[in-house]
Structure 1
């Protein structure tokens, strides 16, 4: 049975670090919108392009899962509705679906982002932006987490 891994959390939570490790250990195909957008020269804050790319990744992931390939998606998955949709779609193609929620306190996220913001080529995310994002983020609760497969 193939497995779909959803990396869930705010910027700086460690989604990419965990996703890279999982992809190497399993192995799995890792799809990271930020890396693809940067590689294509697209502004990481281009919401319309990001939505299109994530839709392409979702379709591709389901094709890979249906053919028995494990997939790691790094979209962040801020909304319950989006997570529920991928849970349903992943299971519909016969895959196990795991949600990897990285719950990191805001002060630690700010610290990590301040370090990352100094790296060349990184998109700068300020404390104010992070606080706005935190207001939009729907953290999974225990009931939601229980819906997903455990690895």
Structure 2
């Protein structure tokens, strides 16, 4: 049964790094942010920030279609998307199950100071995963984020990639 790894974490928590690492281990990596960037350019530079969600919506739908097709084809998938709300995670888990996959949430917790440090560095870049995030915006992100609950099948990522890969391998064997 293919694994469907659903990354849950705030902006700057390390989702893209984990997704890229899992891609090196054979997972198909699907990134909403990179697809929005490919289609529309840089957030707040090539289009107004307030139009992001209307641009993101069709991309999420297209990524979900590919997600399902990859799982149906027997491929392990990692979704590089924040999944801030329980309802979002539930919908992606359901899609994975209906496609014949085993969904697992990988939660990337990070404290505010660490996220601010990472975002300060990232704010200087110009790639698809770079966007300017202020301290005030980060506080808003924390307020809107639903950490995974005890009743969700979750692996809390400690930052050790080898530990995560081992945990995912064990989960496949269940």
Whether the TM-score (by the shorter chain) exceeds 0.5 is yes
Which of 52, 61, 76 in structure 1 is aligned with 2:58? 52
Contact 2:67 2:77 (C-alpha < 8 Å) held by counterparts: yes
CA RMSD of aligned residues (A): 1.7
Corresponding residue of 1:31: 30
Corresponding residue of 1:141: 149
Corresponding residue of 1:71: 77
Contact 2:2 2:76 (C-alpha < 8 Å) held by counterparts: yes
Distance in 2, Cα, partners of 1:120 & 1:86: 29
| Count of residue pairs the alignment pairs up | 148
Distance in 1, Cα, partners of 2:126 & 2:98: 41
Corresponding residue of 1:118: 124
Distance in 2, Cα, partners of 1:144 & 1:95: 16
5+ residue gaps, structure 1, are none
- After superposition, the C-alpha distances for 1:30-77 in whole angstroms (9 at most, x for unaligned) are 111111222223343411111210111011101110111111111100
Distance in 2, Cα, partners of 1:22 & 1:120: 24
Deviation at 1:145, TM superposition (A): 3.4
- After superposition, the C-alpha distances for 1:10-44 in whole angstroms (9 at most, x for unaligned) are 0000000000000111x121111111222223343
Contact 1:19 1:72 (C-alpha < 8 Å) held by counterparts: yes
- After superposition, the C-alpha distances for 1:81-131 in whole angstroms (9 at most, x for unaligned) are 111111122112210111110010111111110111122343111111111
Contact 1:54 1:75 (C-alpha < 8 Å) held by counterparts: no
